[in-house]
Structure 1
């Protein structure tokens, strides 16, 4: 099949690679424009653009995909179907409906639960025992389109957002190729999402990373660190110092960590980074404060 692929984040890489390996004609890869940032203020290239270059696929990086010139470029490809995975811009209905078979999306949750841009983080924040991947037909809503298929994935008690993303990305690539072939052959009939069980997974900010032992339980703090610690960051104030927290646990065994009394239970901080310092064990930081 002739495919237009839109994606930006690393989560989208297995889906793009799987389409190419399955023999599909990925005629155009759409990704977010390069951004200037990091040390040295150098151009930051998206994970999908990097893979597209490796696979020698044509890349298009519109600032605004809703612009008519951008839409004309995409329509000119004459794709049979479009696939969107962690792209970062909202496609207008006119583009979603342009390909002969419409537009499919790979979403990292069991829809209708966790609709929105941060399903993996909210899965861990919510303490869900399982999650999965949904392949859906996109419509004008936010993750509200009919479902083609889903695959469930169990979540370990100590799972982090980064590890979970890697697992779901791999599942997504495999599931996309399988469902795409069945969909094109008419063996799958998209089913409307159920009304019950729908939740939102809005984008998270640095303020969501604050750990407040006075109002949070040990379990809540543990979930927050596992969901956000390696992403937007989590932080706690200990002995008057704001520390980034990268690892901790709520099982009650202190080990080499620093115990913190919470609203319910004890949370043990294991790895931190002080302002202007390097990452280190919480115990090492505490020894340096004495």
Structure 2
């Protein structure tokens, strides 16, 4: 196949590399415009653009596909198919029909579950046992197109969004190349809209620790919001981030107040939640590096006090 590839971050670059290593021909690479990065705010190309340049491929970076000449430029590559992975730019309906076989997308969930912007994070947040990648024929809806192929992956109890992202970055390229090679043999499966869920974007406000939630949900949040936006709570008007935490059973009778510190010791900071207790193993104080609770206790033995109520 003659393929146009559209993507932006390193997750997408892994898929582009898999196509470059296959029997197919990449005729053009589309990526987001260069963005300011680093202390100097120097314009920096995306991971996909950098990989495309390294392989001497034509690079296109339209701001939007409604720009004059954008459709004609794409059509000029005479592609059989367009592969879209974490591109970040909306493809209008008239663009989807330009390649002979249309456009396909690699989505990080088992569709129709977790359509939308944050499927990897929401799968952990919700306590799902598995996730995967769906190779989908794109249509005008948001992740609503017919599914060609699904590759599944179990979610381990220790998985964070970062670790699951890396696992899917290995699984997705293999599933994509398989789909491209066997494209004519797939029967597109219509998604059941009644089973659809939406993976809304994460926010710093959502990551603020709410001790009215169960310890189980807060532990999921810690994993789901790692590496961004990271669960946090306030102490003395300063934000403290939680990088690693688990659920612990306690025999407190009667139940303590939500947010109350039960124990502050080298084995963890234990805080009462609406249901159960959260044992925090790793935090980050303002303007400091991540530290284990054991190290924090060594340096700041009086930072937390039993009976203290955390905001």
- Asked if these proteins are the same fold (TM beyond 0.5), I'd say yes
The aligned residue for residue 190 of structure 1 is: 188
The aligned residue for residue 309 of structure 2 is: none
The aligned residue for residue 86 of structure 1 is: 86
Across the aligned residues of Structure 1 and Structure 2, the Cα RMSD in angstroms comes to 1.8
After TM superposition, give the deviation of residue 102 of structure 1 in Å. 0.5
In the alignment, the residues of structure 2 paired with residue 101 and residue 91 of structure 1 have an alpha-carbon distance, to the nearest angstrom, of 15
1:27-49 deviation per Cα after TM superposition (whole angstroms, max 9, x unaligned): 11111111113322222332212
Of 257, 276, 281, the match for 1:265: 276
- In structure 1, stretches of 5+ residues that fail to align are none
Q: Kindly report which structure 2 residues correspond to 1:271-282, keeping only aligned pairs within 5 A, or say none.
A: 271-282=282-293
- TM-score, normalised with respect to structure 1: 0.93
Is 2:286 aligned against 1:288?
A: no
Structure showing greater radius of gyration is 2
132-141 vs 202-211, greater mean Cα deviation: 202-211
SS where residue 69 of structure 2 aligns?
helix
The aligned residue for residue 212 of structure 1 is: 210
Q: Kindly report which structure 2 residues correspond to 1:91-130, keeping only aligned pairs within 5 A, or say none.
A: 91-130=91-130
In the alignment, the residues of structure 2 paired with residue 252 and residue 239 of structure 1 have an alpha-carbon distance, to the nearest angstrom, of 28
Give the total of aligned pairs.
Answer: 287
- TM-score, normalised with respect to structure 2: 0.87
In the alignment, the residues of structure 1 paired with residue 291 and residue 8 of structure 2 have an alpha-carbon distance, to the nearest angstrom, of 32
SS where residue 128 of structure 1 aligns?
coil
Is 2:242 aligned against 1:242?
A: no
The aligned residue for residue 306 of structure 2 is: none
1:11-66 deviation per Cα after TM superposition (whole angstroms, max 9, x unaligned): 21221111111121111111111111332222233221222233332221122233
169-178 vs 35-44, greater mean Cα deviation: 35-44
In the alignment, the residues of structure 2 paired with residue 188 and residue 101 of structure 1 have an alpha-carbon distance, to the nearest angstrom, of 13
Is 2:225 aligned against 1:228?
A: yes
1:203-252 deviation per Cα after TM superposition (whole angstroms, max 9, x unaligned): 11111211111x11111111111111212222112465420122222245
1:140-197 deviation per Cα after TM superposition (whole angstroms, max 9, x unaligned): 00000001111111110111111111111211111111111221xx211212112332
In the alignment, the residues of structure 2 paired with residue 230 and residue 117 of structure 1 have an alpha-carbon distance, to the nearest angstrom, of 16
Q: Kindly report which structure 2 residues correspond to 1:169-188, keeping only aligned pairs within 5 A, or say none.
A: 169-183=169-183, 186-188=184-186
Instruction: Report if the CA contact (8 A) 2:266-2:293 is conserved.
Output: no
Instruction: Report if the CA contact (8 A) 1:260-1:266 is conserved.
Output: yes
